[in-house]
Amino acid sequence: MQQQAKNGMLTPAFTGRRNFLKLSGLTLAGTGLLLAGCSDDDDAGSNPSSNQLPGVRNGKFDLGGGDFGVLTYAYALEQLESDFYTKVVENAAFSSFSTDAQLILEDIYKHEVIHREFFRNALTAALPNPETQLLPDLTFMYNGVNFGSESSVLATAKALEDTGVAAYNGAGYLISDAAYLVIAGQIVSVEARHASAIRDLINPGSADFAATTDANGLDPAKKPSEIAPVAQGFIQEQFTATFLP
C-alpha cells in the first residue's frame, strides 16, 4: 500500500483507511446522543454504596466500584490517550510525519478528546458529589517516547490503543446499567479501529491491521488490575482501584 500517490493525490487504499476511521465518527455522534439519558438512572446497579464511590482514600484517589468505578477507570484511560495524541499533533516535528500518519493521527486525536470530554461530562452529571468524586485532571510522563519520531509515536500509539481495547473488553461485564454498557461497546469499537489503523500505518499493505484479535478472532480482554499497572507507568499521580477486580 503506498502512503501517498504522485502529485499529492491520496491513494484509494489510504482513502479507504481514513473512511474506516470516519465510521468511528458516526459512532461517536451516536454516543453523544446518549449522554443526557445516562445520568438519570438511580437504580442500585448503577450506583454503588457510598463507601465505594470514587474519591480520595488514604491520601490517594480511588477509582471506586460499580458503574461509577468503571466509568472513572475509563475516564483515566481516555485522559491518557487524549493527552498523548495532543502532544503528538502539537509537537513541532509533527509536520515532518508522512501525510498518511498526520491525517490518521489527527483523526484519532479528535476522537480521544471527544471520549475524554464525554466521560468528564457524564460523570459530572451522574456522581452525587462531583467536586470530590470526579477524577481530577491527571498529568502524564512518556519515558522513552520521541515525539519527533514517527516510528516512536506509532509504536506508543499501538501500545496505548491495544491497552484501551483490552481494558474496555475486560471491564464490560462489570457494568450493570444498559445505557452505559452500550456506550462502552461503541467506544471500544472505535478504539479497535484506531488500533487497526495504527498497525496499517506501521506495516502498510500487510495483514497486520487484523492482528488486534487472537487466534479465535476475538479482541483481548484484561481486568482493571492487569491494566492499572500499565497505565500507572504513564500517570504521574498515584491512584488505587480497591473495588475493581
pLDDT in tens, 112-170: 999 999 999 999 999 999 999 999 999 999 999 999 999 999 999 999 999 999 999 99
Q: Where residue 97 falls among pLDDT bands split at 50, 70, 90?
A: very high
Structure confidence by residue, pLDDT tens digits, 214-225: 666 667 789 999
- Per CATH, the number for 11-240 is 1.10.620
pLDDT at 238 over 60: yes
For residue 32, CA distances in Å to 27, 46, 138 come to 9, 19, 23
Question: What span, in angstroms and rounded, lies between the C-alpha atoms of 171 and 167?
Answer: 6
* Residue 206, CB-side half-sphere exposure with 13 Å CA sphere: 11
**Residue (of 174, 178, 172) closest to 191 by Cα position:** 172
Q: Where residue 6 falls among pLDDT bands split at 50, 70, 90?
A: very low
Residue that has been written with the C-alpha cell 497486520 in this structure: 208
Give the model's pLDDT for residue 49: 57
Mean pLDDT along residues 23-44: 41
Mean pLDDT along residues 180-205: 89
Indicate the burial class of 49 (C-beta count within 10 angstroms; 0-12, 13-18, 19 or more). Answer: exposed
* Domain extent listing, the chain: 11-240
For the CA atoms of 144, 208, 200, 109, what is the dihedral angle to 10 degrees? -50
Question: What span, in angstroms and rounded, lies between the C-alpha atoms of 195 and 162?
Answer: 6
Question: What span, in angstroms and rounded, lies between the C-alpha atoms of 223 and 85?
Answer: 24
Mean pLDDT along residues 9-20: 48
